[in-house]
Amino acid sequence: MKYDYKITVIMPALNEEKNIVKAVENVIESFDRVEISGEIIVMNDGSTDGTGNAVEGLIKKHSFIRLISHDKPEGIGASFWEGIKKSQGEVVTMVPGDGENDAYEILRYMPLMDDVDIIVPFVYNKTVRTLRRRLISKLYKAIINMSFGMLLNYMNGTVMYRRCILDTVDLKATGFFYQTELLIKCIKNGYLYAEVPYSLKSRGNGDSKAVTLKSLIAVAKGYLTAMAGVYIFRRISKIISPNSVTALRMKDIER
């Protein structure tokens, strides 16, 4: 079934020379499997290896791939947000350049975008990750859900957003907490969402940057900033994009 939505896949990458080609090729294969058209924006976030050169080789074969490079690392959140501003798709998602995610696992749910503005995946094959990583994720989920009155199964996956709803969000986090902050603000705004199961692959080469001490400190700072924004400064716009499915369904209810 050919699907009408055009999607932008934003792929942050920091020193992923050994993984980036397979990660991009996986997205291309997933486009074909789901029968959708889309673009891939690789955000080369200050890599010091051959990540950029590897992507340039792919661009010669595929015109729908773009490369944006930073002179120095700005953070996964900053990279994602820059990619959003330069995206052309009606739907956007983030797929990391480390090869841990199979893009098909989120793109297969594209038909749900007829009914919601956000699709939130949660991992069902949790044992693919180490026990330490699973315990950290479980604690993180509990803290976020209790702090913000949420009931989400997972916050840091390859979430799909309708592009227009992000125009009403003021994103502060530049690191890994951006995923949680974005979800909290969009859901608090009132946008309709659906949670779906997806599986992870084993990481290809290198170590994850999500659980380093530097990343965890950045997450803690992002959490405190988000708490202040939601509960003290009330930085939730409550403005529903008129082009969103949420707005259309609200109109249906009012008729």
**Is 217 exposed, middle or buried, given 0-12, 13-18 or 19+ CB atoms closer than 10 A?**
exposed
Domain boundaries of the chain, sorted by first residue: 6-254
Q: Does pLDDT of 158 surpass 60?
A: yes
pLDDT tens, residue by residue, 19-68: 999 999 999 999 999 999 999 999 999 999 999 999 999 999 999 999 99
CB 173 within 8 A of CB 225: yes
The reported pLDDT for the residue numbered 76 is 92
The reported pLDDT for the residue numbered 208 is 61
- In the structure, what pLDDT confidence band is assigned to residue 226 with cuts at 50, 70 and 90? confident
According to CATH, the topology of domain 6-254 is Spore Coat Polysaccharide Biosynthesis Protein SpsA; Chain A (3.90.550)
pTM of the model: 0.90
User: 71: helix, coil or strand?
Assistant: coil
Q: Does pLDDT of 207 surpass 70?
A: no
**3-state secondary structure labels for all residues of 169-183:** CCCCCCCCCHHHHHH
Chain centroid offset of residue 81 CA: 10
CB 121 within 8 A of CB 159: yes
Q: Does pLDDT of 236 surpass 80?
A: no
- In the structure, what pLDDT confidence band is assigned to residue 219 with cuts at 50, 70 and 90? confident
pLDDT tens, residue by residue, 179-205: 999 999 999 999 999 999 999 887 656
The reported pLDDT for the residue numbered 216 is 78
CB 123 within 8 A of CB 38: no
Per-position b or e across 184-214, b if 16+ CB within 10 A of its CB: bbbbbbbbbbeebebebeebeeeeebbbeee
Q: Does pLDDT of 143 surpass 80?
A: yes
Average pLDDT, the chain: 90
Q: How far is CA 55 from CA 135, 183, 231, in A?
A: 34, 29, 42
